[in-house]
Amino acid sequence: MWDILPGIEFASQELHEFDLHPVHSLSLAHRYQLLDWVSAPVRKLLASPLEQYTQDTRSEEKLDFDVYMTIATAKETIADERKCLGNHPPFPPNFDVQPFCSQHNTCKRVWTEKWFFTVVRRIYHPTTPLPLSSIPGVLEDTDHRGMNPECKRSILDWLRDCVHIQKEENLIQETIATVCDLFT
């Protein structure tokens, strides 16, 4: 036990102090069984292009094939989710009749325009894509001038519990759990 501890401490420090390539971080996490360290690099890889998975890494630090496939498959599923959500401005199923509003067509137009011009650009951003779970917060802070505030509130209340908003974070957490299983 005593000869293992310094190695673990060294790896922990190294992970803390340097901005390591996520593949390097994962290889250290695997080697020293630091399962707490799996989350951050997996999140980073899920948000990075596949070509960066092997960039600037040494040959002994390549991802194991099953780890690579787990992350790449999740990445593809997440990309589908993001595309699907981006192309369809979210409306609650009963929004046409609730809440009562005398200018509902304007509400829908303002909401749709802001969705495409503010949120979709950030969802599809090439280097810092907006996490889907952050969408309700971004929309809350967006100026929806012209829209009935009660209608905005009604959509946001529904959106926070919407399965499509939560799906990306659920997939990320499942992927982290699967990688941890593969490391043990």
Question: CA 13 to CA 25: how far, in whole Å?
Answer: 11
Please, which of residues 78-107 interact with Zn ion by CB under 5 A?
101, 104, 107
Contact window for Zn ion (CB under 5 A) among 81-89, 90-98, 146-154, 156-164: 146-154
Judged by CB under 5 A, which stretch of 11-19, 25-33, 110-118, 150-158 contacts Zn ion?
150-158
3 state SS of 177: helix
- Environment class of 33 (CB within 10 Å of its CB; exposed 0-12, middle 13-18, buried 19+): middle
Closest approach, Cβ 142 to Zn ion, in A, equals 16
**Cβ proximity to Zn ion, 65 vs 100, nearer residue:** 100
Q: Does residue 23 contact residue 45 with C-beta atoms inside 8 Å?
A: yes
Contact 165, 135 (CB under 8 A): yes
Q: Are 176 and 39 in contact (CB under 8 A)?
A: yes
Nearer residue to Zn ion within complex by CB, 137 or 146:
146
Structural contact between residues 42 and 176, judged by C-beta atoms closer than 8 angstroms: yes
In this complex, which beta carbon is closest to Zn ion, that of residue 107 or of residue 119? 107
Binders of Zn ion in range 151-170 (CB under 5 A): 151
The first and second tokens of residue 37, run together, are 């360290």
**Minimum CB distance to Zn ion, residue 183 (Å):** 51
Give the nearer residue to Zn ion in terms of CB position, either 104 or 122. Answer: 104
Selected binder of Zn ion within 25, 70, 148, 154 (CB under 5 A): 148
Comparing CB distances to Zn ion, the nearer of 1 and 97 is: 97
- Considering only residues 105 through 144, tell me which ones interact with Zn ion, judged by CB under 5 A: 107
Is residue 157 within 8 Å of 94, Cβ to Cβ?
no
Which residues make up the interface to Zn ion (CB under 5 A)?
101, 104, 107, 148, 151
